[in-house]
Chain A
Amino acid sequence: METQAFQKIYTRITSITKATCSLKAAGVGYEELAVINGKLAQVVKVIGGEVTLQVFGGTEGIPTNAEVVFHGKPPVLNVSDELSGRFYNSFGHPIDGGPEVEGEEREIGGPTVNPVRRQQPSELIATGIAGIDLNNTLVSGQKIPFFADPDQPYNQVMAMVALRAKADKIILGGMGLTNDDYLFFKNVFDQAGALDRIVSFVNSTEDPPVERLLVPDMALTAAEYFAVDKNQDVLVLLTDMTLYADALAIVSNRMDQIPSKDSMPGSLYSDLARIYEKAVQFPEGGSITIVAVTTLSGGDITHSIPDNTGYITEGQLFLRKDTDIGKVIVDPFRSLSRLKQLVIGKKTREDHPSVMNTAVRLFADASNAKTKLENGFDLTDYDERSLEFAKEYSRKLLAIDVNIDIDEMLDTGWELFNKFFTKAEVGIKEELVKKYWPEEEGFEDKKSEKKETEEEA
């Protein structure tokens, strides 16, 4: 980077740790950027005349007489329509061989939306995946993570959601993304002909981990440009936020801060909330929706990272493998979309809440039956039927490879109720049953036929 006239240059570093360099410097602003020996760094502490810089790429090889150049400003991103269709690194510089973006310079990690200027989210986002649309409906302006073990295909599901979501812009923030996953995203977006509405900021596994701390703010600054200045619906994908939090822990640990639970910094909640709360519905029509990934270790959601995330986001989508059908499903028990109330039965068919709740309840009955079976107790006829129901429900609705519209999901729900249960067992409001219970011969019809033949005999 070229040095400019107003920039201050220093060459005497007083102390160096694994992640930081300190030096005497005057007039330096808090959170200002600097370059040390060609590496980007940011002011994290000013004690008297001594400034401490966090070096994103690590301090390996930095000599005490290294040249330190201050930028005079915090990290920025140039925003304009030219952002679209391009790939950038954590600092917002192109990595796709194309030119730098011209546009208005904006500080990243900018101010908060005044809560009274927000609008209540109310637009449904359809994904075709019934585990989401039927049971955990997404709404624009929502923030929601996938909770998944590292072996789940979360990036694939997320890409699918993004492409079907009908967003004006999709902004990918990749943190610790493997090269393979990076190419995967590039390919699917390309093949879907969607590249021109995608903006990607990528910190790969080959880049220094601390750099990824800038990725969410870069992605969200771009998102705010399109949502506020252009009134667009923007979908932001953040993967993997666990790796982001790990980078926070690395930094706070190297700065000798007192860790709280699970070696995470005490400010983890605020740090994550600052990012997720950028999700918003503006009254003028623009919106930012955040779909993130939080990888778990062994499904443990009590670990600090998923735990704090759960307290911040508006629900979570839990992926797991259903061994009965051999497919990955969106777990109906552990998943939740807190904003679904705003749209189901309002923007969707009136029977949506009932079908959703009933199917989940019957699925729970099946899981009770399973426990009984495992404990060696006899199953009742109802137990047997609920187990059969669970398998089909899982295959036809919960599996992530399902792609149908919401009416079809609801019809499928009724079809399964009819096939395995009586109306009384299903227990849905009379009016809805009259309207939606399928004509086809179902379990109840067979049962009464059987009864009649027995009586005749």
Chain B
Amino acid sequence: MEEKVYTKGKVKSIIANLVIVEIDGPVSQNEICYIKLHGTDLMAEVIKINGNMAYVQVFESTRSLSIDKEVEFTGHMLEVTLGPGLLSRNYDGLQNDLNTMEGIFLKKGEYTKALDESKKWDFKPLLKEGDRVEAGSWLGEVDENHQSHKIMVPFKMQGSYKVKSIEEKGTFTVKDTIAVISDAEGNAFPITMTQNWPVKVPIKVYESKPRPYRLLETGVRTIDTLNPITEGGTGFIPGPFGSGKTVLQHALSKQAEADIVIVAACGERANEVVEIFTEFPELDDPRTGRKLMERTTIIANTSNMPVAAREASVYTAMTIAEYYRQMALKVLLLADSTSRWAQALREMSNRMEELPGPDAYPMDLTAIIASFYARAGYVYLNNDESGSITFIGTVSPAGGNLKEPVTEATKKAARCFYALSQQRADSKRYPAIDPIDSYSKYLEYDEVKKYLNEHIDEKWTDNIETVKDILIRGRETSEQIDILGDDGVPIDYHITYWKSEIIDFVILQQDAFDDIDGSTPIDRQKYMLDKILKICHVDFEFDSFEDTAEYFKRIINELKQMNYSEFESDKFKNHEKQLEKIIEERKVD
């Protein structure tokens, strides 16, 4: 590529991490620049241009910066490096490899390479000389932690090309040329195993994006059974502090049926990321038996790291997810917490003295959130394969009140709503997802219903309806009992209430820290659901309300013991037998 001359500038104003730069030439919105401060380069992004003044948000602390310091623009937007070796890595929000950084403390202006450029990969070509290709075409593959990592024609290449030459099987670094492709005019382009892509632009080199229809198993019963999410679906988890958002996301990242998991720790606690760093290299992926870390990439921009980089971190994570989706893989993307991202936007918008929207958030918050969620999805690639990004974000509403801008904006964008309730968390009914307020819009999709009924059980979606009805009736009767007193209502009320408690204790509640109960495969969920619905349809007889609680607690206890036992083991079957006996005690035919 020809040597380009990039614009230069000088610092003119500093307001925390907002810096105004006087420029001597063209710059573009979102262009990256470096501010020169005593031998350190502070990376920054253009967020507004006014005449010859560029407003840039600095991804570092601006302490000691003074005016007239030089600024160099780069001609490109904030980009990530894509290629084999992204998995098992711990990045900051700007894709710096945290592990290769020096020292205990993060140093201002220290940027590290995203990929190991010396590592040799076993390359295998998938195409041959003369084949037609376009952006995203699979030229070859390498084995990345036992998954096929496709080497693709860079997404930036527009139009159609021909493979001029391609390497045979062999070992290469990410910087080696593995193929040369040429356009109609005969211009040749060398291709390596790595490419760059601007994070704020969606990667869209696919054929189509249909409505998602396949179930994404998460092993979390209250999600899979009651409000399932699909491969390529979107969901969000709002909840007050301490209600279990992070524990739930960690459970999803460990258990979900995904090929690739990308965890964006966005403005949350460092110790929680350390937990992943510590556990994931040790824990087994239940599907493959290999270590969880092998399928995981972590983007850690914790709350004490620069705020502007926090905003970038979710985009960095999404772009890496899109890259893997192009390889026809099932990607699960988790972000904790998207509220911190919104707050980063708010801080910057306030500094720029923009007209504020509700709660001082920027006016276009809803649009920003919506377009981010829209990048998830199930796609058919140009080669008829399919890939998906399922995205689940947490939301941390101020004061736990769901009527606040971030929750409301996200509700418009995400299709699944998993509301964590303070009350459930207080009474240790974990996961604290409120079964009645929460919803999955996917249950309204005919193609999803069809998929569930074909793959799990022909009566599955009907059963879900029944379960929800029982829960609602349970809640209503429990309110009645509270008002009228235990003996102020007919015994039937107590029975109805306790039947809903069975569902609560045995399906909804799940011990995330238990090896067996922690994750439940769908066939086991079906088995237990059938069992419980059968109990719910039995007529029981009691002399007094006092007997109901004791009796149903025994039933619940046996069912819970089943949850804690290996599926279909002797222990499991023994408890099941006990259960049947208890049911017989009070059953009326």
A116 at interface by CB-CB < 8 Å: yes
Distance, CA A196 to CA B340, complexed state (A): 41
Given the complex, which residues of A lie within 8 Å of B13, measured CB to CB?
45-48
CA distance in complex: A268, B305 (Å) = 15
Stretch of A26-34, A178-186, A395-403 with 4 or more beta carbons under 8 angstroms from chain B: A26-34
Residues 237-295 (chain A) with a chain B CB within 8 angstroms: 257-261, 266-267, 269-270, 273-274, 277-278, 280, 282
Q: A105-113, A165-173, A407-415, A440-448: which one contacts chain B?
A: A105-113
Whether A260 touches B428, Cβ cut-off 8 Å, given contacts A29-B65, A311-B396, is no
Contact A274 B304 (CB under 8 A): yes
A contact residues around B343 at 8 Å (CB): 266-267, 269-270
Evaluate contact between B63 and A302: CB separation under 8 angstroms.
no
Stretch at the interface among B266-274, B408-416, B462-470: B266-274
Residues of B near A117 (CB, < 8 A) are 103-104
**B269 touching A314 by the CB < 8 A rule?**
yes
B108 at the interface (CB under 8 A from A): yes
Q: Are B400 and A302 in touch, CB under 8 angstroms?
A: yes
Interface string of A365-403 (1 = CB under 8 A from B): 000000000010100100000000000000000000000
Please tell me if B275 contacts chain A, counting CB pairs below 8 Å.
yes
Contact A111 B105 (CB under 8 A): yes
Determine the distance from Cα of A397 to Cα of B187 in the docked complex, in whole angstroms. Answer: 80
A99 interface contact, C-beta 8 A:
no
Asked, given contacts A47-B13, A260-B346, A270-B303, whether A113 binds B90 with beta carbons under 8 Å apart, the answer is: no
**B104 x A120 contact (CB < 8 A):** no
Decide if A49 is an interface residue (CB 8 Å cutoff).
yes
Q: Known contacts A258-B350, A302-B400: does B271 contact A270 (CB below 8 Å)? A: no
Which residues in window 287-327 of A have CB below 8 A to B?
302-304, 307-308, 310-312, 314-315
Chain B CB within 8 A of A357 CB: yes
| Chain B residues, Cβ within 8 Å of A278 | 304
Binary contact readout A44-57 vs B (1 if CB under 8 angstroms, 0 otherwise): 01111100000000
User: Which applies to chain A's interface (DSSP): helix, strand, loop or mixed?
Assistant: loop
- Residues on B with beta carbons closer than 8 Å to the beta carbon of A380: 546
Q: How far is the CB of B551 from chain A (nearest CB, A)?
A: 13
Nearest-neighbor residue (CB-CB) of B37 within chain A:
A29
Q: Do B106 and A111 touch (CB < 8 A)?
A: yes
Is B427 an interface position by the 8 A CB rule? yes
Q: How many residues of B contact A (CB 8 A)?
A: 60
Measured between alpha carbons, how far is A126 from B400 in the docked complex, in Å? 32
CA distance in complex: A377, B360 (Å): 48
A45 contact set on B, CB distance < 8 A? 13-15
Whether the pair B241, A310 counts as a contact (CB closer than 8 A) is yes
Please, what's the 1-or-0 string for A109-147, where 1 marks a CB less than 8 Å from any CB in chain B? 111111111111100000000000000000001100000
**Residue A333 at the chain B interface, CB threshold 8 Å:** yes
Q: Does B99 contact A (CB under 8 A)?
A: yes
Across the interface, B65 reaches (CB within 8 A) one of A30, A314, A361, namely A30
A307, B304: Cβ atoms under 8 Å?
no
Chain B interface: which of A148-156, A336-344, A431-439?
Answer: A336-344
Q: Which of A32, A109, A120, A312 contacts B274 (CB under 8 A)? A: A120
B478 CB → nearest A CB, Å: 12
B64 proximal to A (CB < 8 A): yes
Is B536 among interface residues, defined by CB-CB distance under 8 A?
Answer: no
B584 close to chain A: CB less than 8 A:
no
Chain A, 214-257, contact with B by CB distance < 8 Å: what is the 0/1 string?
00000000000000100000000000000000000000000001
In the assembled complex, A404 has its CB within 8 A of some CB on chain B: no
A74 within 8 A of B: yes
Q: Is the CB of A260 within 8 A of B359?
A: yes
B39 CB–A CB distance under 8 Å: no
Chain A residues lying within 8 Å of B274, measured Cβ to Cβ, are 115, 118-120
Q: Per a CB cutoff under 8 Å, which of B98, B396, B546 touches A114? A: B98
Task: Assess whether A269 is in contact with B277, with CB atoms less than 8 Å apart.
Answer: no
Q: What does the 1/0 interface line of B315-358 toward A look like (CB < 8 Å)? A: 00000000000000000000000001001101100100000100
- A364 to B427, Cβ gap below 8 A? yes
In the bound complex, residues from chain B placing their C-beta under 8 Å from that of A312 are 269, 303
Contact A261 B104 (CB under 8 A): no
Instruction: Name A32's contact: one of B61, B64, B513 (CB within 8 Å).
Output: B64
Output the nearest chain B residue to A316 by Cβ-Cβ distance. Answer: B242
Q: 8 Å CB contacts to A: which residues of B41-82?
A: 61-67
Q: A141 contacts B303, CB within 8 Å?
A: no
Contact (Cβ within 8 A) A336 B242:
yes
Chain B residue numbers with a CB within 8 Å of A310 are: 240-242
Query: CB < 8 Å: which of B67, B90, B273 contacts A49?
Result: B67
B312 sits at the interface (CB 8 A) = no
Which size bracket describes the interface of A in this complex? 35 or more
Q: Given A29-B64, A29-B65, A266-B350, decide whether A113 and B271 contact each other with a Cβ distance below 8 A.
A: no
> Cβ of B107 < 8 Å from any Cβ of A?
yes
Given known pairs A113-B105, A258-B360, A304-B398, the reply for A277 and B63 (CB within 8 Å) is no
Residues of B within 8 A of A107 (CB): 63
Q: Judging by beta carbons under 8 Å apart, are A277 and B400 in contact? A: no
Q: How far is A43 from B273 in the complex, measured between Cα atoms in Å?
A: 34
Are A114 and B242 in contact, CB atoms less than 8 angstroms apart? Answer: no
CA distance A307 to B359 in the complex (A): 15
A49 shortest CB reach to chain B, Å: 7
Q: Which of A31, A228, A280, A315 contacts B64 (CB 8 A)?
A: A31
| Cα of A73 to Cα of B64 in the assembled complex, Å | 7
In the bound complex, what is the Cα–Cα distance between A10 and B62 (angstroms)? 23
How distant is B40 from chain A, measured CB to nearest CB, in Å? 12
Contact in complex: B106, A112 (CB < 8 Å): yes
Nearest-neighbour CB distance to chain A for B281, whole angstroms, equals 12
B26, CB-defined interface residue at 8 Å = no
> Chain B nearest CB: distance from A375 CB in Å?
8
Known A-B contacts A46-B14, A380-B546; A261 and B269 likewise in contact (beta carbons under 8 Å)? no
Q: Which residues of A contact B303 (CB under 8 A)?
A: 269-270, 273-274, 277, 312
Residues of the A chain whose Cβ atoms lie less than 8 Å from the Cβ of B61: 111
In the complex, which of the residues B90, B242, B513 contacts A115, with contact meaning CB atoms closer than 8 Å? B90
- Which residue on B lies nearest to A259, using beta carbons? B360
**B14 and A277 contact, CB distance less than 8 A:** no
CB of B458, distance to nearest CB on chain A (Å):
39
Known: A45-B14, A116-B98, A314-B269. A269 touches B340 (CB 8 A): yes
> Closest approach, in angstroms, between the C-beta of B249 and any C-beta of chain A?
14
Chain A positions within 8 Å of B401 at CB level: 302
Question: Are B546 and A115 in contact, CB atoms less than 8 angstroms apart?
Answer: no
B399 on the interface (CB 8 Å rule)?
Answer: yes
Once bound together, how far apart are the Cα atoms of A443 and B407, in whole Å?
50
Q: Let me know if B29 is at the binding interface, CB within 8 A.
A: no
List 17 interface pairs A-B (beta carbons < 8 Å), by A numbering: A26-B67, A29-B66, A31-B63, A46-B13, A46-B66, A49-B67, A112-B304, A114-B98, A115-B277, A277-B304, A282-B104, A302-B399, A304-B398, A310-B241, A357-B428, A375-B485, A377-B485
Extra pairs beyond A46-B14, A74-B64, A260-B359 (19, CB < 8 Å): A30-B63, A30-B64, A31-B62, A45-B15, A46-B66, A49-B67, A74-B63, A115-B274, A115-B300, A116-B277, A257-B350, A258-B350, A258-B360, A269-B303, A270-B344, A273-B304, A280-B270, A339-B271, A375-B485
Closest 9 CB pairs of A and B: A273-B303, A277-B304, A302-B399, A310-B241, A29-B64, A111-B105, A260-B360, A46-B14, A31-B63
